[in-house]
Amino acid sequence: MENKLDITKNKFSVIDSVELVTSYLENYQNNKIFKYLDDIHNADIAELLQNLDPVLRLSLLNIIRDRFDPEILTYLNDSLRDEIVETLDIKQLASNAKQLDIDDAVDLVEDLEKEDQNTFLENLEEEERNLIEQGLNYPEDSAGRLMQRKFVSIDQWWNVGQAIDYLRGNKKKLPEDFYDIYLIDKDRKVEGVVPLGRLMGSKRNVKLSSLKNKELRAIEINTDQEEVAYQFSKYGLVSAPVIDEQKKILGSITVDDVVDVIEEEREEDILKLGGVGHTDIYNSVVDTTKSRISWLIVNLMTAVVASIVIGLFEAAIEKVVALAILMPIVASMGANAGTQTLTVAVRALAVKELTTSNALKIITKETLIGGINGIIFAVIISLVSIYWFQDFMLGVIIGLAMVLNLILAGFAGTIIPLALEKMKIDPALASAVILTTITDVFGFLSFLGLATLFLI
C-alpha cells in the first residue's frame, strides 16, 4: 500500500487546493473531485471549504452532499458550519454519521437548531442516539460534553496476557484510537491507568496493577473544560478517565480534544482582550457589526465621560491652549502602561500564576514599576514640553501628571483583573475598558487639574 499523501513531499497547501478544485468545478470534472477529496484529510476539506469562493463552495457542496462526512463539520468555523448545515440534508447527514465519534457528534448536535437537532437524532440508530442525548444532558463546556464514550476498561486483577487477549477478542468495541487502559474494580470504579506502551513492553504474566501510573488522574464529569485542559497540560496527560461522584467510570477524554479546548480558550482570551466577542472572519457583515457594537457603545460612553472631565477645565484650556495639545499624551501613556500590566495579569490569572497568595506582592511590584516608568517618562515629556512651549511650569505639571497616572496605571492594571476574578467576571472580558476609562479620566483630571491650580 502506498501512502496516499506524504506531507514531507506533498504537504497540503490550501492555495493549491483551492486552485485545483476550482478548475475541476469549472470543467465539471466531478469524478476527479471525488477522488481528490477521498485522498485528503477531513480537516483539509474543511480548510478548502473555508477558502473557496462562496459560489463555488455551494457548487461543491451540491456535488458532494450525498456523501458528505459529518466529521468535516467538526473542523469548520461556527458561522460557516451553520451556513453549510443549512444547505445539507439533515436526514442524509444523520445516515452518514455512523463513523462519527460520540464526542464529535455531541459537539455537532449541540450547535444545531432545535428542529434540525430533532431530525438528526431521529435518523440515528437507537444506541447512538441515546449516547448523544446523554452527552447533551451534561453542562455545556463540561468534561461530560468533551468525553469519548468508547474506552478500554479492564479488571484490575488481570495480567498483561489476559488484557491482550481481551483486546484482540473485542476489536469492534475498541475506540479508533486509545493510549491508556483503565483498571476498574467490580463496581466499575477506576483504580488505575496503564499506558499502552508500558503494557506492550511487559511479559504476559505481569500483573496490570504493577504497571499502573503512580498517580491516578481522573476527571469528574462536571469539571469545566478549562480545568480539564489545565490538568492535561500541567501533567502532560494523553488521556484520562471521566468518573462520576462514586468514582465509577463514564468515559474518557483524549488529548486531541483537549488541544482544541486550549486553542479555543486562548483565542477567546485574545478576542475578549481586543474587545470582540465570540466571532470569526466568516461571520456576515451584519452579525459582525452587531457583535462589535456593544463594546463600541461602552467605549463611546467612557469617551464622553472623559470629555466631560475635560469640559470642567474649559476655562483653563481657553487661557492656555497648550493644555489641549498636550493632554492626550498623559492619557495615552497611562492607557498604554496600564494595558501592559493588565495583559500580564490576565495571562497570569489564566495560568494560575497570579493567586491570592501572591496578589499583594504583585500589586506592589506593578505599582512600583509604574512609578519608575512614570519618573522616566515624566523627565522626558517635561523637557519636550518646556522646549516646545517655552514654559517651565507647564513642563513640571505634565511631568507630575505623568508620574501619578502611571502609578495608577500599574495599580489599576493588576487590581482590576483580580477584582473581576473575585466577582466571577471574566477578567479578559471587561478589564481593558475599565482600565482605559480610569487612566483616561485620571490622565485628563490630573493634568488639567494641576494646571488650574498652579498655572492659571
Own/partner pairs for 449-455, CB < 8 Å, 24+ apart? 449/313, 450/397, 450/400, 450/401, 451/313, 451/316, 451/320, 451/323, 451/394, 451/397, 452/313, 452/315, 452/316, 454/393, 454/396, 454/397, 455/316, 455/320, 455/393, 455/394, 455/397
CB-CB contact of 370 with 344 (8 Å): no
Minimum CB separation from its own copies for residue 43, in Å?
Answer: 5
Pick between residue 186 and residue 352 the one whose CB is nearest to its own copies.
352
Minimum CB separation from its own copies for residue 123, in Å?
Answer: 26
Helix H or strand E segment including 194: strand 190-195
Q: Which residue has the cell 473575585?
A: 422
Pick between residue 65 and residue 298 the one whose CB is nearest to its own copies.
298
Minimum CB separation from its own copies for residue 385, in Å?
Answer: 9
Task: Quote the crossing angle between the two packed helices 102-110 and 114-122, to the nearest 10°.
Answer: 150
Task: Quote the crossing angle between the two packed helices 30-39 and 14-26, to the nearest 10°.
Answer: 160
The number of beta carbons lying within 10 Å of the beta carbon of residue 92 is 15
Pick between residue 92 and residue 332 the one whose CB is nearest to its own copies.
332
Pick between residue 121 and residue 317 the one whose CB is nearest to its own copies.
317
Minimum CB separation from its own copies for residue 307, in Å?
Answer: 5
Minimum CB separation from its own copies for residue 91, in Å?
Answer: 28
Pick between residue 285 and residue 423 the one whose CB is nearest to its own copies.
285
Pick between residue 75 and residue 182 the one whose CB is nearest to its own copies.
75
Minimum CB separation from its own copies for residue 246, in Å?
Answer: 10
Pick between residue 90 and residue 322 the one whose CB is nearest to its own copies.
322
Minimum CB separation from its own copies for residue 1, in Å?
Answer: 6
Alpha helices in 66-141 (DSSP H): 71-75, 78-87, 90-95, 102-110, 114-122, 126-137
Minimum CB separation from its own copies for residue 121, in Å?
Answer: 25
Pick between residue 7 and residue 423 the one whose CB is nearest to its own copies.
7
Pick between residue 84 and residue 346 the one whose CB is nearest to its own copies.
346
The number of beta carbons lying within 10 Å of the beta carbon of residue 215 is 9
Provide the pairing of β-strand 239-243 with 190-195.
unpaired
Q: Is 28 left (phi over 0), alpha (psi -120 to 50) or beta?
A: left
Quick check: helix, strand or coil at residue 383? helix
Q: In sequence order, what are the residues at sequence separation of 6 or more whose Cβ sits closer than 8 angstroms to the Cβ of residue 248?
A: 187, 188, 189, 190
Q: Order of strands, edge to edge, in the sheet holding 219-220?
A: 219-220, 239-243, 249-254
For 225-345, list the strands marked E by DSSP.
Answer: 239-243, 249-254
Pick between residue 33 and residue 322 the one whose CB is nearest to its own copies.
322
Quick check: helix, strand or coil at residue 391? coil
Minimum CB separation from its own copies for residue 156, in Å?
Answer: 10
Pick between residue 64 and residue 331 the one whose CB is nearest to its own copies.
331
Minimum CB separation from its own copies for residue 135, in Å?
Answer: 19
The CA distance from 100 to 79, in Å, is 21
Minimum CB separation from its own copies for residue 96, in Å?
Answer: 18
The CA distance from 405 to 337, in Å, is 9
The CA distance from 454 to 444, in Å, is 15
Look at residues 217, 238, 237, 219 and name the one whose alpha carbon lies nearest to residue 227. Answer: 219
Minimum CB separation from its own copies for residue 126, in Å?
Answer: 25
Pick between residue 129 and residue 247 the one whose CB is nearest to its own copies.
247
